[in-house]
Amino acid sequence: MPLTKLEVQHVAMLARLQLEDRDVDDVVAKLSRIVEFVDQLQAVATDNVLPMAHPLNMSQRLRADDVTEPNQRDFVQQNAPSTKEGYYLVPKVLE
């Protein structure tokens, strides 16, 4: 199902894309190929295919969730203009 220039220009306007007149034909051809490929994918029988998150049956090796650095909050907050009980104090912006 090839797209028309008018359809592509309408989609470009909706997407707030500015297409030059010299580029419209190229975009029409490329988008038409994409739509045709999607049509091919929709024609594939997937009734007995289970959904999956990854094509390979693998598990991720995860590191232990251990604290590896000391808490340096007080040292870092020495550079802040104003703190209280470990929090940064900032000017009020809403009434």
pLDDT tens string 32-89: 999 999 999 999 998 888 888 888 887 888 989 999 999 999 999 999 999 999 999 9
* Residue 12 lies inside a defined structural domain of this protein: no
Bridge partners, residue 88, by sequence = 83
**pLDDT at residue 83, rounded to an integer:** 94
The length of the chain, given as a count of residues: 95
Residue span of the structural domain in which 31 resides? 20-45
* Residue 76 lies inside a defined structural domain of this protein: no
* Residue 35 lies inside a defined structural domain of this protein: yes
Tell the residue number behind the tokens 């090839």, with chain if given. 2
Listed in sequence order, the residues at least 6 apart from 6 whose beta carbon sits closer than 8 Å to its beta carbon are none
Asked if 3 contacts 28 with a C-beta cutoff of 8 angstroms, the reply is: yes
